[in-house]
Structures are given as structure tokens and as C-alpha cells.
């Protein structure tokens, strides 16, 4: 298979034997998925794609990784998340293990040079092409523990726990605030409860639980799942948190009295309506009779047609020209 993403195209042209190496936080790319080595990723979709090809996958934040010849870290858009990956790799892999860091110029790979230097990890430039840069260093002890990257902040009388790479990291998103300020009185304290899809740092789940709802929260990203668990714990609240792609982490046939969401529409720098479209399209099948879907979205996003197709009708609870809060009821 031929690489299709620029970082993988840069790696593909290297005269290196990557067999047995650990690929860390990579993009979806057929060259990687059909090749050699093992995966460490917090993205459920990427992990599932590798498993379908029979590849070995690590999907937790603290896996037990045996010695590997080397590792390749794909530098993420969120620089602080890249720093966390470097820190955790230095705690997981033996000292002296080869570590390559690759990324796009517009994605901030040059920032990795400063981060490596600050951690005392000297590096050399291996190659550059396709507007990407490939660096190499060696694993060594670092003075910062990975857990120190987690942070806390206060919003809506809640303590929110966040991690780099989680939506709204370190602050309350304006759209989420508008959603919660205009959320109608929703039943959800009974056995069926309420569902937060794309839970991020857990602010919606915690807000619902604080107001008496029995809450389930789900997100495709392992950092978000852990952040929501920590947020609920920090506020003395209870809730079920599962990793899943929209509804995939939930038991078949499980239904709720309400679904509340600030759904994502970005995959890195690209617009991706897929998750939100599935959220809306499949919502009636996940709701009890009379149950509702309430979501917030940027005003320009084409969700009214999706809501009308799924529910027949909907209302706009709030519109500040930048964000809209939509509400639809299963009849």
C-alpha cells in the first residue's frame, strides 16, 4: 500500500526497517495499517482499523509495552499533547530506545525541536519533504511526570479536569455555555437516564448529574473519557463513562430519555460532519418515546436538514449568531 498522508509519505521514503517499531498517535493511513509494527493510540477509530488487520494495538493511557527497536511519534496539532506523548514515552520505553518525531510544518512540528531541547533530549534532523520534518532522538529520563500535564479549572460552579487534546482544554467552550444556559427541563433521573455524546472534559455530564440526572457519557478519545471520569470524581458525582464512536460503545437497544451534545465537526484541521450526522440520524433509535435530542452547533453548520429528516420537526432554543441550540423530540 502507498502512503497518502504527508508524514507517512516522508516516512515511506526512508531507508529504514521499521519492523517491530511502535507507531504512536498516527493518522489513518493504509501504508501504516498494512505494514509492520505496533500501534499506540487513544483514538478508537484508528485502533479498530488496525485490529481489523490483525495488528497489535495499545489503546490505554498507560499500557505495558515490552521493549521495541524504536518508536515514531506523530506530532499532534495540540503542542501540549505532543509534550505529553514525549513525557509518557520516556516513562514507558527503555533508556536509549530510538525515537523519531514526524509532523507537518503547518501542524507545528518545528515546535517539537524546542520541546525536545527543553526536556534535555538532543535530536538530529533526519529528513524533510512534503512540507514535513522528521527528527530523531533517544529515550532518556525527563524531569516532568506525564500526570502533571492534567489541569483543573472552575466553570459553572464545577471543577473541570482537562488534558491537552481534549475539546475546550482549559476553558469553557462558548457553545457549551449557551447550550447549558438554555437547556430545557429534561426528565432523566429515572432508570433510562440521559446521554452526553462527545463528552470532552465532562462539563455537560457533570452539569446534568449535578441537576439530578442519571448520566452516561461517551467519547471516541481516551483522554476525553478519562477527563470526564476525573471531572465527575472531582465534583463528587456519579456517572457511567464509556469510549465509543457516537453510539458504538453502548449496548444495542439501550435508550435514553434525553441526549445532550456539543458534537465535534473537526478532524484535526479538516471539517468532518460524519459524527454529528450519525448522532442526529440515529438519535430516534436511541430515545424513548417522547425523548429529546438537544445539541449546540456553529450557526453555519447544515444540521437543520438532518434534524428535520430524523425527527420531522425541531425548534431553535437559542441563537447568538455564532451558535445555535437545537431541540428535537421523538414523537
Render pLDDT for 210-268 as a digit per residue (tens, 0 to 9).
Answer: 999 999 999 999 999 999 999 999 999 999 999 999 999 999 999 999 999 999 864 44
Are residues 20 and 139 part of one domain? yes
Q: Does 291 share its domain with 171?
A: yes
Indicate whether 20 and 52 sit together in one domain. Answer: yes
269 pLDDT higher than 50: no
Instruction: Give the per-residue pLDDT at 266.
Output: 46
Pick from 331, 291, 300: which is nearest to 184 by CA?
291
Whether residue 245 is contained in a domain is answered as yes
The parent domain of residue 64 ranges over 6-146
Element (H or E) spanning 106, and its range? none
Same-domain check for residues 80 and 48:
yes
- Predicted pLDDT of residue 184: 87
pLDDT in tens, 65-109: 988 999 999 999 889 999 999 999 999 999 999 999 999 999 999
Average pLDDT over residues 285-290: 96
Q: Closest Cα to residue 89, out of 45, 43, 23?
A: 23
Same domain, 100 and 238: no
168: in domain: yes
Would you say residue 191 has pLDDT above 70? no
Question: Do 95 and 239 reside in the same domain of the chain?
Answer: no
State whether 213 and 94 are in the same domain: no
Above 50 in pLDDT, residue 194?
yes
Do 80 and 46 sit in the same domain of this protein?
yes
**Rounded to an integer, what distance in angstroms lies between the CA atom of residue 329 and that of residue 302?**
19
C-alpha torsion 288→290→293→299, nearest 10: 160
Return the C-alpha cell found at 244.
465509543
Give the residue from 146, 169, 189 where a domain finishes: 146
165 band by pLDDT with thresholds 50, 70 and 90? confident
Residue 1 lies in a domain: no
In a shared domain, residues 281 and 168: yes
Q: Is residue 229 located within the same domain as residue 131?
A: no
Report the 10 Å Cβ neighbour count for 228. Answer: 29
* Domain-located, residue 80: yes
CB 220 within 8 A of CB 243: yes
**Sign, Cα dihedral of 128, 271, 46, 167:** positive
Q: Could you tell me the pTM of the whole model?
A: 0.90
**pLDDT value for 94:** 95
Both 176 and 139 in one domain: the answer is no
In a domain, residue 210? The reply is yes
Q: How many domains, in total, are found in the chain?
A: 2
The pLDDT value given to residue 268: 45
Once rounded to an integer, what is the mean pLDDT over residues 112-123?
Answer: 94
- Where do the H-state alpha helices sit in the chain? 6-12, 30-33, 44-52, 79-92, 109-118, 174-181, 203-210, 222-234, 274-282, 303-311
Q: In the predicted model, what is the mean pLDDT of the chain?
A: 93
DSSP-assigned beta bridge partners for residue 326: 295, 316
Q: For residue 328, give the C-alpha cell.
A: 428535537
Query: Closest Cα to residue 317, out of 179, 173, 203?
Result: 179
- The answer on 174 and 102 residing in a single domain is no
- Answer yes or no: is 121 within a domain: yes
DSSP string, 278-317: HHHHHGGGGEEEEEEEEEEEETTS-HHHHHHHHHS--EEE
Among 146, 173, 188, residue at a domain's last position: 146
Q: How confident is the model at residue 188 (pLDDT cuts 50, 70, 90)?
A: low
Direct distance between the N- and C-terminal alpha carbons of the chain, in angstroms, rounded to an integer: 48
Domain boundary among 146, 162, 194: 146
Check which CATH number belongs to the domain holding 116 and give it.
3.40.50.150
The set of cell numbers assigned to 7 is 508524514
The pair phi, psi for residue 24, each rounded to 5°, is -115, 120
Cell of 317: 432554543
User: How far apart are alpha carbons 217 and 197 in whole angstroms?
Assistant: 6
Pick from 277, 259, 169, 252: which is nearest to 218 by CA? 259
Amino acid at each position: 500500500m502507498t502512503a497518502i498522508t504527508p508524514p507517512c509519505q516522508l516516512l515511506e521514503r526512508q531507508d529504514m526497517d521499521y519492523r517491530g517499531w511502535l507507531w504512536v498517535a498516527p493518522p489513518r493511513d493504509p501504508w501504516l495499517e498494512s505494514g509492520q509494527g505496533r500501534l499506540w493510540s487513544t483514538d478508537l477509530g484508528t485502533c479498530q482499523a488496525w485490529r481489523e488487520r490483525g495488528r497489535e494495538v495499545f489503546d490505554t493511557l498507560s499500557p505495558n509495552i515490552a521493549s521495541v527497536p524504536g518508536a515514531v511519534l506523530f506530532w499532534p496539532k495540540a503542542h501540549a499533547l505532543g509534550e505529553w506523548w514525549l513525557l509518557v514515552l520516556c516513562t514507558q520505553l527503555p533508556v536509549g530506545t530510538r525515537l523519531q518525531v514526524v509532523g507537518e510544518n503547518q501542524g507545528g512540528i518545528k515546535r517539537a525541536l524546542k520541546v525536545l531541547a527543553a526536556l534535555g533530549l538532543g535530536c538530529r534532523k533526519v529528513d524533510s519533504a512534503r512540507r514535513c520534518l522528521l527528527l530523531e532522538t533517544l529515550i532518556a529520563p525527563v524531569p516532568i511526570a506525564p500526570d502533571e500535564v492534567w489541569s483543573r479549572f472552575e466553570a459553572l460552579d464545577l471543577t473541570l479536569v482537562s488534558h491537552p487534546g481534549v475539546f475546550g482544554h482549559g476553558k469553557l467552550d462558548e457553545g457549551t455555555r449557551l447550550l447549558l444556559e438554555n437547556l430545557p427541563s429534561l426528565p432523566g433521573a429515572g432508570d433510562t437516564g440521559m446521554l452526553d455524546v462527545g463528552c470532552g472534559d465532562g462539563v455537560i455530564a457533570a452539569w446534568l448529574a449535578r441537576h439530578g440526572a442519571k448520566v452516561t457519557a461517551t467519547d471516541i478519545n481516551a483522554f476525553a473519557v478519562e477527563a470526564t471520569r476525573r471531572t465527575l470524581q472531582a465534583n463528587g458525582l456519579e456517572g457511567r463513562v464509556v469510549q465509543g464512536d457516537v453510539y458504538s460503545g453502548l449496548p444495542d437497544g439501550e435508550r435514553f430519555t434525553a441526549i445532550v451534545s456539543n458534537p465535534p465537526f473537526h478532524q484535526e484541521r479538516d471539517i468532518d460532519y460524519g459524527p454529528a450526522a450519525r448522532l442526529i440520524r440515529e438519535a430516534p433509535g436511541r430515545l424513548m418515546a417522547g425523548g429529546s435530542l438537544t445539541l449546540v452547533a456553529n450557526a453555519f453548520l447544515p444540521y437543520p436538514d438532518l434534524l428535520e429528516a430524523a425527527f420531522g420537526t425541531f425548534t431553535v432554543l437559542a441563537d447568538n449568531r455564532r451558535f445555535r441550540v437545537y431541540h428535537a423530540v421523538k414523537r
